[in-house]
Chains A and B, each alone.
Chain A
Amino acid sequence: MTGGEFQESGKAFGGSRGTRTRANLPGRFRTGIRIGRIALTAYVLLMLALLALPIVLVVVASFQGGMEVASRPDGWSLSAYEAIPTNYWDALWFTIRSAFWATICALVLAVPAAWGLVRGNLRERRFVSALVLLPDAVPSITLGIALLALFVPLGLSNSFAGITVALTVISLAMALRFTEALMGGVPEELEQAAVTMGASRVTALTTVVLPLLAPGLAIAALFVFVHNLVTFELLLFIAGPRATPISVQLFSDIVDRGVLPQAIAMSAILVYVGIAFHTLVAMTVGARYLAGSAMARKG
């Protein structure tokens, strides 16, 4: 809508009263606001019903010993947690270590890469930016098969290193998207100021850019880590008895033996880990950054 149109309709609606209040905004404009509100409400309700509710159900079920008893309010106990076998704990620990290292590796690679992309004024920037999004466009299962074909001759399948490399590769896309957006938010003048005061480019990066990126990087690390923790299709084929991520462990047990209480309990534990990390980051760097970074990621 153009300004002129707005003024005209404003006059038509409330011109006689002299002031333009919200009540005399043009009709179409008000309808737009109302539609937006309805859409937002629907979005929130859908998110709650389809995402939050099932998660809550898993948590509740974990205290009741099985999915089928979830509707009964009695019989709360920790028996399902006590029944978690050692190989689950081993798999969880394995996943946490692997996800942790993959996150570190991905960010260590992504920060300089993003710096080059954003500051380097590369003509190839758009191409590289698009290239790193490829893992998102290709089904993870396809990548998993490809990695298997690659890792077997290299002796990387069924190993901690193999899983970590696979997670690093898939994390890189996410990490680069985060860091590219973060880096774009640090004005180049700050680096130039540091350089004119005698800092080398690398010193400018470490003393000025990195401290400013730090809160955002913590958020990025959180998202990448939690994502790594639950990655499944990619690892399904390259996992093995010596390298079993928890997601693959749960999957194969559920396929073999059905939804056992200990599997539900372990799923609930993954939820706790995720929530714990979210809370930790929100408390240390502030919830404002959390919202901001999530927006940067979408953009």
Chain B
Amino acid sequence: MLYGKLGQRVQVRHLSKSFGKISALRDLTFDVEPGELVAFLGPSGCGKTTALKTIAGLLPGHGGEISFGGERIDHLPPNKRNIGLVFQNYSLFPHMTVSENIGYGLRMRRWPLERRAARIREMLALARLEGLGDRKPGQLSGGQQQRVALVRAMAFMPDLLLLDEPLSNLDAGLREDVRADMRNIQRRTRQTTILVTHDQEEALVMSDRIVLMNQGRVEQIDSPEQLYSMPATEFAARFIGRGNILYGTYLRDGDVDAVRIEGLDAPLSASTKAPAVGPAGSPVAACIQPEQIVVSARNDAETLKSRWPRAFIATGKIVDIAFHGGSSVLHLDVEGAGVLKCRRPATEVQGLRFGDRVAVGILDCHLMPQSE
């Protein structure tokens, strides 16, 4: 037992919460496996913080069930739920030292003094704060305060750790380091965790699975890879990816999926589609990841065709080109499709300039139902 016991499976069933007539949370159902980090992701006002506070017990009067290891805990007051919560602004007790802050949960649980001291030392080491135990929170940097808040919420071995936008109060430069720190601590301790964030990159980098929320409802629950490459809905595609979205009609030819986009003379082949796409002929949204678009000098369409025989080939014009280190991002005004974003390795697009007319190949797309 290095840092604590391995947690239990967290099950949330049909969780709902409304404020007066406004329902902030509708039928939220998901599991968190022991040791897993699940992110609640969504735009502000989507209900993710409400979900977090409801699980923590800080917003009484909700519908649905919450259980840890099969045992229901939703009837318990927040101080009996054994949930650690890291607040957005850390909420460290300013009148207590770092050690006293970390030891607060242990004191409330009446751990014997020696065991408490040992656990505090362990937590200080985990947060790389050795020797700072006697400082007051006000004497620490933002990143250090954040780590104190994190280990304070973990010290008493909660069944579930909740993080409410834990990085939003940090400078952009610091954020990446702290993110790595937090992920590292979470992996080492195998602490079952729910993270709330509105930052898709944070969610993609940190979590094992993402619960994508929109207007109080779950839009999709999937791994970051799945969510990124195979969004279930147009909302998910727009929120997660920087993909291009085109509207068209679903075509099915034997085992092959494709989409007919109005304005394009041939259908685009689609290797993946969301389960909710209707039968052939139904309207769909096609998501084309920037990596799935290739370009070549205008007279070079044959090369594209021979390299990617199944690609849809069109002509376009470069309306923007930006160098991003290893890759370049091009905005292409493609005939019939409008402006599409394309990301290629920098070496592949060497020599192309703003305003050039080019041959454009669309390799693949992912199909989803259209949002109303």
Q: Which residues of A contact B (CB under 8 A)?
A: 187, 189-190, 192-200, 203, 207-208, 211-212
Contacts and interface: CB of A to CB of B under 8 A. Distances in A.
A196 B56 contact: yes
Interface stretch (B10-18, B81-89, B223-231, B304-312): B81-89
B104 A189 contact: no
A5 B336 CA distance: 48
Contacts of A190: 91, 93
Interface in B85-132: 85, 87, 89, 91, 93-95, 104-105, 108-109
Given A187-B91, A198-B79, A208-B93, A192 B85 contact: yes
Given A197-B156, A200-B79, 6 more contacts: A192-B58, A196-B84, A197-B84, A198-B79, A198-B105, A208-B93
Nearest to A211: B95
A196 B89 contact: no
A189 to B, nearest CB: 4
A194 B80 CA distance: 12
B78 interface: yes
Contacts of A208: 93
Interface string B57-87: 1100000000000000000011111111101
Contacts of A211: 95
A187 B56 CA distance: 18
B108 A193 contact: no
A198 B108 contact: yes
Nearest to B83: A196
Residue from A193, A194, A197, A199 whose CB has the most chain B CB atoms within 10 Å: A197
21 contacts: A187-B89, A190-B91, A192-B58, A193-B87, A193-B91, A193-B93, A194-B93, A195-B77, A196-B56, A196-B78, A196-B81, A196-B85, A196-B153, A197-B84, A197-B108, A198-B82, A198-B109, A203-B108, A208-B93, A211-B95, A212-B95
B94 A193 contact: no
A199 B79 contact: yes
B184 to A, nearest CB: 23
B95 A192 contact: no
B94 A197 contact: no
B72 to A, nearest CB: 18
Nearest to B81: A196
